Amino acid sequence: MKASQMVVPSRFIMVICAFFIAACGETGYIDTDREDYRTWASYQGDKSATQYSSLDQINVENVHKLDVAWTFSTGDAIADRTEIQANPIIIDDVLYGTTAQLKAFALRADTGELLWMFDPFEGEEPRGRGRNRGVAWWSDGAEDNRIFYVAGSRLYGINADTGEPAEGFGDDGSVDFTLGLGRDALDIFITSTSPGVVYEDLLIKGSTVYNRAPGHIRAYNVRTGEIEWIFHTIPHPGEYGYETWPPDAWTRVGNANSWPGMSLDEERGIVYVPTASPGHDFYGGDRIGQNLFGTSLLALDASTGERIWHYQFVRHDIWDRDLPAAPNLVTIRRENRLVDAVAQITKSGHVFVFDRVTGEPLFPIQEVEAPESDLRGEETWPTQPVPVKPEPFARQEFREEDVTDISPESHEVVLERYREIRTGHPWDPPSREGTLIFPGYDGGAEWGGAAFDPGTGILYVNSNEMPWILTMVETEASGEEPATHGQRIYAMNCASCHGSNLEGGPGDQYPSLTDLDGRFTDQELRSVIENGQGIMPPFGHLTSEETDALVNYLMDSDTGERVYVSEDMSDAQQVPYTHTGYNRFLDPEGYPAVKPPWGTLNAIDLNTGEHVWNIPLGEFFELTERGIPQTGTENYGGPVVTAGGVLFIGATQDEKFRAFDKKTGELLWETDLPAGGYATPSVYEVSGRQFVVIAAGGGKMGTSSGDTYVAFALPEE
């Protein structure tokens, strides 16, 4: 047969294939019913972080019939001080999760009956332990089954069958999580909110860091707890990227950590690690340079930790633009072929899509000029990358015409403040007059992650559109009254969260520290500083003298000698600026200063880069009653999407749990939760019955703390 004779049938086959794909709504010959889509054996559903279930017993026709199948109360919530952000896993009909005070537990997944509970802080006074988003699972395929998570500064290995410490793992079932970083562990604190990922006999972990701790990636042996490899996110001499920092940065700069979780291509043996900004969050004059691998996506050899490729989303990050969620490993259609890709959502409201193997962008990325800083010693990077497609899922500008108009009074007050601060460019650097951060520190996207439907190639992501104001202040009292020792300790350790004036932020995360002498004794306050409370880490790196000075300052009894702030600080601490805290830009009624929507849910076709639909997510019912259309609310926790055509999500400030039609965004069902569902749900099946479960831990955005897991299912016939 001549070559010319082969053209027609080849084209015919291509047309038929294209028609088949279009008719079926599929990206190609993708097995959407594979085993890991039918279970929930990993954080975010599977190791690809798809947050997808191929179960379809619950579907668009019957989801309105959902009812509570069981509830489980963890019993350890502390009012306004605890949260549950865990996305539980389900293995062999057993559900594993964590509580408000970071106990681990196992339940019968069909009834919620408690099988065991492990308390890493047994015998200690309850005080709130921070956050945890789930556990990681490993099995030898026989009788050794383990789960892993971090509580405080220890990594625990637990026998999944009994709840007892895993035999042979570390020191009686745990290892010191501060070790193996190449720094003195006495002056740092490090923990982990996300569970990491298991590859063969390795547990690969990121971290949440404080007090200038480095954020290196470590792989632990699941049997022994020994560190098998480490990747330096702040490169050491001779390593790739070292020249993008000052020569001594590896000895003193912290962060560039991976706190939101990671994804694993198990077949290829590649782990995908999103990282955070380097410290200090909003001033980089002590770390001039591009700062690899801060705010980057790393593709590492899961066996060795060697870098395969990377992409940096923010060069010299001084906006706290941490990558907020594990990337989704996806397969999409590009030019009539299937491509294995990785999609990374960002706080700025963008989706970057790369070839999973090579790191090549699958949509164009343009370089945008960024303004220079006028802060002493700061050198911003001249350009920043922005994808051309998909279009952002959060607004990128807050202009005068976008000032809230929910009332004339609110509009007038907000407009006056708006005109006082620095606005106009998404990359406006931190400033002393105040810089608008929009979308805010918490996104755009946040840690709840995005859900990906492998049958359609559509990515679903919820988003915040909350403006914040970042105001820098000098730490050196130039020409002003010098500070006491307690003030200096506060400026370097506390002001970034609670503000330079002790007034905290407008939300509940960073409370005011004024009038503490009427709420605590000296000893009680010292205990909080030394041991931590809620999301606040322990400040055990402070000496007894420094803690005394800080207590005296906070209790308004600080009479020590006054000197300029930098006089008794090391070179590493002498940063000329701090900031006044994390301050939402709100109107006089307490609502966001920008016109709605304030929270959204978005569907984006990753095959084309086009948006499918966008809707407000969440409601302020008092505003609805005033005739104001649904505004959406701030939201924390992600969606899950199912083959039954349903998208489930909690997340909203109104403490609802909702189901939407994944094709159209139409609301199909909603219910009240006992507390805010600020977590990503899990979907699973036991004995032929499909369940969806969510942790209702509350404790954010001024809502009450809760202690309940709620599972929903269709009524049993």
* CATH topology for the 476-574 domain: Cytochrome Bc1 Complex; Chain D, domain 2 (1.10.760)
Tell me the per-residue pLDDT of 337-394, one tens digit each, with 9 for 90 and over. 999 999 999 999 999 999 999 999 999 999 999 999 999 999 999 999 999 999 999 9
The H-or-E segment that residue 489 falls in is helix 485-493
Instruction: Calculate the CA 575 to chain-centre distance.
Output: 27
The string of DSSP codes covering 634-677 is -B-S--EEETTSEEEE--BTT-EEEEEETTT--EEEEEE-SS--
Q: Using CB atoms within 10 Å of the CB of residue 328, give its burial: 0 to 12 exposed, 13 to 18 middle, 19+ buried.
A: buried
Gap between the Cα atoms of 124 and 295, Å rounded: 37
Instruction: Calculate the CA 607 to chain-centre distance.
Output: 25
Decide: 46 and 640 in contact? Cβ < 8 Å. no
Q: Which two tokens mark 546?
A: 């420094």
pLDDT at 489: 74
- Total count of residues recorded for the chain: 717
Q: What is the pTM of this model?
A: 0.90
Percentage of the chain beyond pLDDT 70 is: 87
Q: Which of 508, 652, 499, 511 is nearest to 590 (CA)?
A: 508
Q: What are phi and psi of 112, to 5 degrees?
A: 80, 10
First to last CA, the chain: 62
Q: What are phi and psi of 676, to 5 degrees?
A: -55, 135
**Contacts with 562 (C-beta within 8 Å, 6 or more apart), sequence order:** 481, 482, 483, 484
Give me the residue label for tokens 């896993």.
Answer: 89
**Contacts with 151 (C-beta within 8 Å, 6 or more apart), sequence order:** 102, 120, 121, 129, 132, 191
Gap between the Cα atoms of 191 and 185, Å rounded: 12
Gap between the Cα atoms of 604 and 334, Å rounded: 15
Gap between the Cα atoms of 85 and 328, Å rounded: 19
Q: Which of 662, 612, 621, 671 is nearest to 639 (CA)?
A: 662
Give the residue extent of every domain in the chain. Answer: 1-30, 36-90+597-717, 476-574
pLDDT at 479: 36
CA angle 58, 60, 66 (to 5 degrees): 50
**Contacts with 434 (C-beta within 8 Å, 6 or more apart), sequence order:** 420, 421, 422, 469, 470, 471
Alpha helices in 25-164, H assignment, sequence order = 35-38
pLDDT at 526: 80
Q: Using CB atoms within 10 Å of the CB of residue 508, give its burial: 0 to 12 exposed, 13 to 18 middle, 19+ buried.
A: middle
Query: Amino acid identity of 115?
Result: L
Task: Report residues of the chain scoring pLDDT below 50.
Answer: 1-28, 477-480, 506-507, 562-572
